Amino acid sequence: MAEEEAFDAEEFQDKKKSSSNLKIKMETIIPIIVIIGVILLIVFKTNVLSGGIPLFEGTGASVLVIGSPSPEFVRVLNDAENKDLIKSLRFVTVDSIQQNPKERIKQYDIIILDQSLSSDKTITRTVGEAIKSYVQSGGKFILVLNSGIERPGDTSVIGWKATFGDIIPVSCDPTLYSVPSCKNTLRVNGVIYASRSDSKQSGYKIMYGIERVPALKAAGLIQTETYAVNPTGTEIAYIQDARSGITYPAIVEQPLLLGKVIYFNYNPGLSEAIFVNTIKYLK
């Protein structure tokens, strides 16, 4: 009987010791898990994997262009020198991806919505919501000028908020005579300047090595359409009209936990180096 009691006591001590060891192991593992989680969060928040520090060598991005871009922008997209950045490129209309848009766009690394050459600036609710979901899941989205500001057959929608939610970094507000700013096309002859007042990482990457476009005063001015939209995100560059001196946002980013949205308030085909930097940043 004494031997059985001794055996039980020994077994109890072994279980107690095992439980204690397990507790010690868990106390060691949990902080490691927390540290890994924090590191991953920092990686996503600081965009380390988006072109800043080359931890992993990546291939070019697959790009989907929705709409009808300007000839200058098409030339930049098709430039053979940029094939290392854009491994595949496809042009589609809004109608062609209307059926099951979430599935049709999810395979792409970058989506561009550019209806510059079209008088129709509409995008359907389902396609707009698909793009919003794509961005919120980590996708990269470029919006050009006033593309996607309306819905087909629905006069109650103007601007981007009703269709895209809060992912667009500019707003379309009423201007003189109550004309929405995204409907009032302005034609400017001017210069694009880097917004160096903001130290955000994205601004320095996209405008890296570029202070103004054209770089030299002797090169004259750029001619482009623009809109007096209100930036709600981070302004990366602005355009100044040479005649009036009025400035307008040129490039704006929406800060997001996942995904990235870059807005171009001018023809991006007029500044190839900036667009190339943008692709590198989004990658």
87: number of Cβ within 10 Å: 13
Is pLDDT of 210 > 70? yes
Alpha-carbon distance of 222 to 202, in angstroms, equals 24
Per-residue model confidence (pLDDT) at position 261: 98
59: confidence class by pLDDT, cuts 50, 70, 90: confident
**pLDDT, position 18:** 54
Q: What percent of the chain has pLDDT over 70?
A: 77
Describe the crossing of helices 272-282 and 71-78 by its angle, rounded to 10 degrees.
50
Token output for 147: 């593309």
Query: Which has more confidence, 47 or 208?
Result: 208
Distance CA 252, CA 236 (A): 5
pLDDT of residue 242: 97
Q: What is the pLDDT of residue 29?
A: 64
The residue to which tokens 């600036």 are assigned = 121
Model confidence at 58, in pLDDT bands (50, 70, 90)?
low
**Is the CB of residue 108 less than 8 Å from the CB of residue 228?**
no
* Per-residue confidence (pLDDT) for residue 40, from 0 to 100: 55
Mean pLDDT, to the nearest integer, of 127-148?
Answer: 97
CA distances to 21, 79, 114, 136 from 170, in Å: 56, 29, 16, 17
Q: Which residue has the tokens 């950045």?
A: 85
Instruction: Name the burial class of residue 51, with classes exposed (0-12), middle (13-18) and buried (19+) by CB atoms within 10 angstroms of its CB.
Output: buried
Residues pairing with 66 in the sheet: 92, 113
Domain boundaries, the chain: 57-282
Q: Which carries the bigger pLDDT value, residue 145 or residue 31?
A: 145
Strand ranges (E), the chain: 61-67, 86-92, 110-114, 140-144, 170-171, 186-194, 212-213, 222-226, 230-231, 234-241, 247-254, 260-264
User: Which among 78, 149, 137, 75 is positioned nearest to 106, based on CA atoms?
Assistant: 137
Q: Give the per-residue pLDDT at 178.
A: 83
Query: Does residue 34 surpass a pLDDT of 70?
Result: no
Where residue 54 falls among pLDDT bands split at 50, 70, 90? very low
Q: What is the mean pLDDT of residues 115-142?
A: 97
More confident residue, 261 or 177: 261
Output the pLDDT for position 25.
55
Record the tokens describing residue 29, joined without a space. 């593992």
Task: Please indicate whether residue 262 or residue 5 has the higher confidence score (pLDDT).
Answer: 262
Both tokens of 9, joined, read 């006591």
Q: Over range 62-67, report the average pLDDT.
A: 98
* Per-residue pLDDT at 20: 53
Tokens of 142: 């470029």
Q: What is the pLDDT of residue 26?
A: 54
| 60 DSSP assignment | P
Q: Max CA-CA distance within the chain?
A: 105
User: What is the mean predicted confidence (pLDDT) over 165-178?
Assistant: 91
Rama region for 51: left / alpha / beta (φ>0; ψ in -120 to 50; rest): left
Cα–Cα distance, 153 to 270 (Å, whole number): 33
- Residue-level length of the chain: 283
| Distance from C-alpha of 17 to C-alpha of 15, rounded to nearest angstrom | 5
DSSP, collapsed to helix, strand or coil, labels residue 163 as helix
Confidence (pLDDT) at 204: 81
Higher pLDDT, 69 or 283: 69
Mean of pLDDT values over 76-102: 96
Rounded alpha-carbon distances, angstroms, from residue 22 to 5, 12, 29: 26, 15, 10
| Token couple for 78 | 């098709």
- Across the chain, mean pLDDT equals 85
Identify the architecture of domain 57-282 in CATH: 3-Layer(aba) Sandwich (3.40)
Question: pLDDT tens, 222-271?
Answer: 999 999 999 999 999 999 999 999 999 999 999 899 999 999 999 999 99
